[in-house]
């Protein structure tokens, strides 16, 4: 007998206020979240794996310039786009991670190929791009990734000589282009999976890498416990080993998914002044989506509930 199925997605967390959001932008974000959510949901409904579901959902978010991943990635200090992604299978703990790649249309697909078609877990930069070409993945030119809003963010950050988190832009500009994307899912066979993708930080220097491609920090999945995808100030999520910590609290302290994820987001990260949130689903199809910022683009659906799509704090 098939078990419960469920999926949750996020499009980033940060200073997201309804008072600063135009109706048009709100509608665009809601539509994008719903389409990505239902794309992953349809995979699950067609008896596809949780890996297929999270890949499909994140791929769709990467193809929308509203979010800081894929097509909507921010600009580095060198004026180019460097993208990171990761994916993990809770069934066997296999994972694929990629960082600092340019022109790869969908980094999440590259991460999946690394997991499935190589003996490695993590590939970086030019080597990862060479592997993507070997796998015949789609590349796009620089123009595909160019976004006027993103470029204006970059020029401003460059002029002020600051590295800027995409979810912490100036208040009058907050209503566009927020954050990392991710998905977590449980399939009918009881297998969990998680995937995360990002364009990093505006004007980032020195080859900086955040939490998104790091297993245990930005992404984690284990059939014994849960699947997690994080979004926020990556340095803090790395120090907290945030994604794995949710699983560890469940496994070793026998906490519920909700309690474990809330401890990580509201206590551990908050005490470190780490801003952001996460989405998580456990082996029983419970879903948790806590965040300590003003808002988080998020959506979820389970076999026993209707789709839920939210942006602001309740």
CB 202 within 8 A of CB 163: yes
**Tokens 């022109």 — which residue?**
103
Active site residue 180: yes
302 sits in which H/E element = strand 295-302
Identify the residue whose tokens are 């994604």. 243
Query: Which residues make beta-bridge pairs with 279?
Result: 229
| Burial status of residue 24 (CB atoms within 10 A of its CB: 0-12, 13-18, 19 or more) | exposed
Catalytic residue among 180, 196, 202, 219: 180
Task: Output the CA torsion sign for 149, 154, 157, 158.
Answer: negative
Q: How far is the C-alpha of 81 from the C-alpha of 251, rounded, in Å?
A: 38
Q: What torsion, rounded to 10 degrees, do the Cα atoms 147, 128, 93, 13 define?
A: -20
Spatial distance between the Cα atoms of 212 and 24, rounded to a whole number of angstroms = 29
List, by residue number, the catalytic residues: 180
């Amino acid at each position: 007998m098939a078990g419960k199925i469920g999926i949750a997605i996020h499009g980033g967390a940060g200073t997201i206020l309804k008072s600063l959001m135009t109706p048009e932008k709100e509608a665009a974000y809601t539509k994008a979240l719903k389409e990505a959510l239902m794309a992953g949901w349809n995979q699950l409904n067609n008896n596809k794996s949780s890996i297929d579901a999270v890949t499909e959902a994140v791929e769709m978010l990467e193809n929308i310039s509203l979010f800081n991943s894929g097509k909507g990635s921010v600009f580095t200090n060198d004026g180019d786009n460097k993208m990171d992604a990761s994916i993990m299978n809770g069934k066997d703990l296999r994972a694929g991670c990629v960082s600092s790649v340019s022109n790869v249309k969908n980094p999440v697909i590259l991460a999946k190929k690394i997991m499935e078609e190589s003996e490695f877990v993590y590939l970086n930069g030019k080597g990862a791009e060479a592997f993507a070409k070997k796998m015949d993945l789609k590349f796009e030119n620089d123009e595909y990734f160019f976004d006027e809003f993103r470029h204006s963010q970059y020029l401003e950050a460059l002029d002020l000589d600051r590295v800027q988190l995409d979810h912490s832009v100036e208040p009058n500009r907050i209503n566009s282009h927020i954050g990392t994307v991710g998905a977590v899912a449980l399939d009918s066979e009881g297998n969990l999976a998680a995937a995360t993708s990002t364009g990093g930080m505006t004007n980032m220097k020195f080859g900086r890498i955040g939490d998104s491609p790091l297993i245990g920090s930005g992404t984690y999945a284990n059939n014994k416990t849960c699947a997690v995808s994080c979004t926020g100030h990556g340095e803090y999520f790395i120090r907290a080993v945030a994604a794995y910590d949710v699983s560890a609290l469940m496994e070793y302290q026998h906490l519920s998914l909700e309690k474990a994820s809330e401890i990580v987001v509201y206590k551990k990260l908050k005490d470190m002044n780490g801003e952001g949130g996460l989405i998580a689903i456990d082996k029983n199809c419970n879903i948790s989506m806590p965040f300590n910022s003003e808002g988080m683009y998020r959506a979820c659906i389970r076999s026993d509930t209707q789709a839920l799509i939210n942006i602001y704090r309740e």
